[in-house]
Amino acid sequence: MNLQNDLLLRALRGEEVSRPPVWMMRQAGRYLPDYIKLRNKYDFFTRVETPELACEITLQPVDQVGVDAAIIFSDILVIPQAMGMTVLMEEGKGPSLPDVIKNKADIDALITDEVEERLGYVMGALSLTKKELNGRVPLIGFAGAPWTILCYMVEGKGSKTWDKAKQFCLTQPELAHALLQKITDVTIRYLIAQTKAGADTVQVFDSWAGCLSPADFNLYALPYLLQISDAVSKYAPVILFPKGSWYALPDLAKSSAAGIGIDWTVSPEMARKMTNNGITLQGNFDPSHLLAPIPQIKKEVKAMIDAFGTKNYIANLGHGIMPHIPVDHARAFVDAVKEYGS
């Protein structure tokens, strides 16, 4: 199917574009009134596991905010779930995994086969969304990175410091690498299945990479990100987003990934320099700046694009959009990108 708007894919290929493509992490979700209506009606995993609901939620920001890409509504914790772990999601509280990974027996008990079948509802949502989009914009699939998934599997809930996850890695390094490899193998098969079900590109979210030192990142995060990128990029372009790990930009720029997501802790100029201007960068608007008055948002977006340049660039936030962002402010962010250079 020919895409009417293929800006995102052209940017990932490094082609010349009149303006950068724009989408927002967590664009399908909690800041949209129509999403909140569905949230009040169905629990989280019902929304994720029902292809029709996931499709409806995925399309909302395309229809209502005008983004240049749809990202499938799902969650990074479907992987631990598919591997046999219990994942609970309470509104306003975040995820919890009551039975954490502590030893070799726990790792051995994880399920690694038939992941595509166990996560068939994601493929169903992708196929349905692809059909409903009817070529309007590209569709993005995603997964959590192995380090971030290990954090949840070992810690059992969100954390500011991830000290249990780090302790596990420091005191049982062989087990840590065995677990990271298992997660990596499953994630590769999951992402390839997503590309076959309709994802035009995939993003790997390493949300907690920023809590690692550069040396620890090179041990516990980078090798597994590279494995995923090498395997999956044969099927579709891969965007790697290790939040907070700006120091890894030179290594990531040499990878098989088509794009790297960056947050607001690194300037566009520095990111370009560190990547030798050789890879597409995505980001890096601070989501809290969407609370600024609309004229200021538009001014800051223009300055951001001026700094990155239009080539090899995808306009995005440096992390997910927050629940209390007014919809017209999100729309102003998208409009400012679309108006660039016109």
The answer to the question of whether 29 is labelled as a binding residue is yes
The angle formed by the CA atoms of residues 55, 136 and 51, to the nearest 5 degrees, is 10
Catalytic residue chosen out of the listed positions 31, 152, 220, 313: 152
The answer to the question of whether 329 is labelled as a binding residue is no
251 as an active site residue: the answer is no
- Tell me if 240 sits within 8 A of 255, measured CB to CB: yes
The answer to the question of whether 81 is labelled as a binding residue is no
Contact residues for 253 (Cβ-Cβ < 8 A; gap 6+):
260, 274, 275, 276, 278, 279
The answer to the question of whether 241 is labelled as a binding residue is no
How are beta strands 201-206 and 238-242 bridged, if at all? parallel
152 as an active site residue: the answer is yes
Catalytic residue chosen out of the listed positions 10, 39, 136, 331: 39
Q: Which parts of the chain fold into alpha helices (H)? A: 7-12, 33-41, 44-49, 51-64, 78-82, 104-108, 115-118, 120-133, 146-155, 163-171, 173-197, 214-220, 222-232, 249-253, 268-274, 294-308, 327-338
Catalytic residue chosen out of the listed positions 10, 34, 42, 75: 75
Can the peptide bond before residue 284 be classed as cis, meaning omega within 30 degrees of 0? yes
206 as an active site residue: the answer is no
Q: Strand pairing partners for 317?
A: 285
The answer to the question of whether 136 is labelled as a binding residue is no
39 as an active site residue: the answer is yes
200 as an active site residue: the answer is no
The answer to the question of whether 177 is labelled as a binding residue is no
Binding-site annotation: residue ranges for substrate: 26-30, 45, 75, 152, 207, 319
Binding residues: 26-30, 45, 75, 152, 207, 319
| Catalytic residue IDs | 26, 30, 39, 75, 152
